[in-house]
Amino acid sequence: MRGLIYSGEAIIFLSCIIFSTLVANSSAGDTISAKQGLRDDMNLTIVSAGGMFELGFFSPGHSTNRYIGIWYKNIANRTVVWVANRGIPVRDNSGVLRINVNGSLVLVDGSDLVIWSSNSSSSAVNPVAQLLDSGNLVVKYGKEADPVNFLWQSFDHPTDSLLPGMKLGWDLVTGLNTYLTSWKSADDPSPGNYTTRVNRNGIPQLLVLRGTNVQFRFGPWDGVQFSGSSLSILDLSFNVFPVYNQKEITVSFDVVNSSIAMRVVLKLSGEAQFVRWSDATQNWEAYSTAERDACDRYALCGPYGSCNIAQAQLGKSICGCLKGYQPKYPEKWRLTDWSDGCVLKTPFGCGTGDRFVRYSGLKLPDTSRTWFNPNMNLEECESTCIKNCSCKAYSNIDIREGGIGCMMWIGDLIDIRNYRENGLDLYVRISARVRNISISLLVVLTVLVGLYVIHALRKRMRRIRGIVLLPQERIGTTENDEPYFDLPLFDVMLIAKSTNFFSPKNKLGEGGFGSVYKGTLDNGQEVAVKRLSKDSKQGINEFKTEVSFIAKLQHRNLVRLLGCSIEEGEMLLIYEYMPNKSLDSLIFDKELSKSLDWPKRYNIINGIARGILYLHQDSALRIIHRDLKASNILLDREMNPKISDFGMARILGGSGRITNTTKVVGTFGYMSPEYALDGIFSLKSDVYSFGVLLLEIVSGRRMKGFYDPDPNLNLLGHAWRLYQEGNLVNLISSAIVESYDESEVLRSIQIGLLCVQPYPEDRPTMSFVVLMLSSNIELPSPKQPGFFIDRKAQESDSSSSQYFDISLSKRLTMQIAPLS
């Protein structure tokens, strides 16, 4: 019995020793030695001496994969700042982190297979891995945490976070280049699409890239700030340290109060944010964000173009040419494609006859092709630049002490923007021959204006009511007293022959005003022929409207009208042929929808938005389409969208809206509440239709016939409920789950909900929609959408346009339904 007692005591004693060892190992100080590994199955971690950071195994988001990472020890919602095996996870909890005989940190799985290694370039006796209070994991020899003793350090291999004391950039002695790389997703820390790097060409600058394409540029450091940025030494909570010498080209920062957690993080969306932890909100708060609006997109306005975001609020183009320059391609510029930028109006005089224009409040241009001299003053800089025909502009290197040094741009001036504050001075070279308009030019201009007036008067004399065939075989219309425009007239037999005499085999589709056929002209050109139905009472009005409007419209996202034909009782419209047919034929088909991945859908969304913006703002006439829907969006060979069917379009009057409409036309589900109920349509009516269309493109579901478990919710209501629940991912079409960019998709859905708000004044303009789609500016919160609960009305044939009297609509149960 006594032996059993002694034996039992021994077992208890041994168990205590094992338990004590496990407890000790679970918080084994701040080091890992060659004799001690970090085991995942024992939940072991190490913590820096001051308790700032912790290293161990973790699973990100909803993933079950295991990674070695470093995170803040005392911050809620574990914030991981570094990942070792970010590209190759351990699939279970069998992982062990240890130091091998060569002094390298090695992560192995249960089969002793090496998952990740630090690959230290040199070895030492008794190496130790230590987690420092800076968040730096180092492999060293000796007791002191001195960099001269480091065999390897995690600061040389950052992931998505830049911590105080960590350097970004180039070690010119070793050739090491350190940069940030975003995570692929919240569940996957493997390298994503974006990087933040130091460009060492010319004056060094920080860039954010997507793949190899620059997305954003911080601008050069001017002694106080990154050009145009809010990060400056005037803020006493941190210091920035740019270093440019023969040994390194780097940038780093430190904090004045080490108890405040601050870092730079490269987010999944590509935003580089300077953030700090707030104990009050228990969250990371953005201190400064790299990309904030459309003007921060790299080279948006092309060479010698300058971006001014304030112009968007005035409904004007945000891009303009520098003085002495003009758009390289005016037509593309007018269509909001500024990528080719501007060119000189008058060539330089190369040292004689040139002068400089001073611009203030700018983000300085890309400095990758600059020459600089830190010892020159501004006057010497100007003198040197004027003698060099390749010098396009100059500025100071450092703005302190009234300006220090000289920086000259030898290449094109790219990526300029205006700032209300924190902007810098730039002196841009132009020819002295660029002066105010001379008297002779004014005379020529006066003559041209006179000729235009005479031409306009002659056209007014020729105005007609309806459609007339002219001797030159052109056609025009002046419905509602609109100006006369001509259009090529095709022979009806030629068109009939091209469609195999309107054979059913050539039929592409059918709408409320007739059918559309594929035709092939004698020269081999493929066309789409819209044949007006003879039974349509509204046909002639639609025909005249479509001819009148679309003949005047030219945009890459509007279908092009080639001509028409009116003979022998036929009314035909001949369009460019769209081989991929209409959008609805693809996105709502289970198999065909797979051909439209997310990048293609996002391109389609942006193209439709730009096309509507052109109609609303940039065309010669401000036009409301009134029947925007998936079947009226055609796709060319490259899947670029083209808005079609302008039969119900109207020119916007001076008041901005048309009221007292006795006939409401359009398609149920796409019509805005104020139009369906009161006959009031405006530019915001098209915005509503675009919002519905956007949500259909993302979800792959029709407004017509969508059924939510709650019978009062259609597609808009369903999307709104998911938005309130923070569960928008469930709205995404299964056809794009493998290709979608989460930030772009969620942003698109929120924009769609902003567009379908019940009151027109709450909906954004299309210019703001385009801006929201093309930038990462903060989005306003949408209100509950306006949507219809009348299923019978909604489920009527929406493949064609619907007409009903306002008096009848008042009796329908269509209304803005509250969500319960």
Binding residue positions for ATP: 530
Q: Do 60 and 79 meet the contact criterion of CB atoms below 8 Å apart?
A: no
Partners of 65 in the beta sheet? none
Task: Report CA dihedral (622, 628, 632, 633) to the nearest 10 degrees.
Answer: 80
506-538 as b/e: b if 16+ CB within 10 A: bebbebbbbbbbbbeeeeeeebbbbbbbeebeb
Concerning whether 156 is annotated as a catalytic residue, the answer is no
User: Token pair of 6, please?
Assistant: 């002694």
Q: Do 814 and 788 meet the contact criterion of CB atoms below 8 Å apart?
A: yes
Name the pairing type of β-strands 416-418 and 305-307. parallel
Q: Categorise residue 782: left if φ over 0, alpha if ψ from -120 to 50, beta otherwise.
A: beta
- DSSP reduced 3-state for 360: strand
- Tokens 């789609």 belong to 773
Report H helices in 617-741: 673-678, 683-699, 715-725
Taking every pair of Cα atoms in the chain, the longest distance, rounded to a whole number of angstroms, is: 126
- Tokens 């730039």 belong to 426
Q: How many CB atoms within 10 Å of residue 106?
A: 18
**Which H or E run contains 255?**
strand 248-255
Q: Do 782 and 804 meet the contact criterion of CB atoms below 8 Å apart?
A: no
Closest CA to 528 of 547, 502, 554, 567: 502
Q: Provide the annotated binding site.
A: 530
Of the residues 109, 188, 627, 741, which is catalytic? 627
Q: Do 120 and 126 meet the contact criterion of CB atoms below 8 Å apart?
A: no
Q: Do 263 and 80 meet the contact criterion of CB atoms below 8 Å apart?
A: no
130-139 as b/e: b if 16+ CB within 10 A: bbbbbbbbbb
Partners of 566 in the beta sheet? 571
* Rounded distance between C-alpha atoms, residue 676 and residue 681, angstroms: 9
Q: Do 185 and 195 meet the contact criterion of CB atoms below 8 Å apart?
A: no
477 contact partners, CB below 8 Å, separation of at least 6: 464, 466, 467, 484, 485, 544, 547, 548
- Tokens 């002209």 belong to 521
**Which H or E run contains 162?**
strand 161-162
| Separation of CA 342 from chain center | 24
Exposed/middle/buried for residue 651 (C-beta within 10 Å: 0-12, 13-18, 19+) = middle
Determine the number of helices (DSSP H) and then strands (DSSP E) in the chain.
Answer: 16, 49
CA distances from 395 to 359, 385, 399, 408, 424 (A): 10, 10, 9, 7, 9
Partners of 572 in the beta sheet? 531, 565
Exposed/middle/buried for residue 360 (C-beta within 10 Å: 0-12, 13-18, 19+) = exposed
CA distances from 734 to 169, 530, 728 (A): 41, 34, 13
Catalytic residues: 627
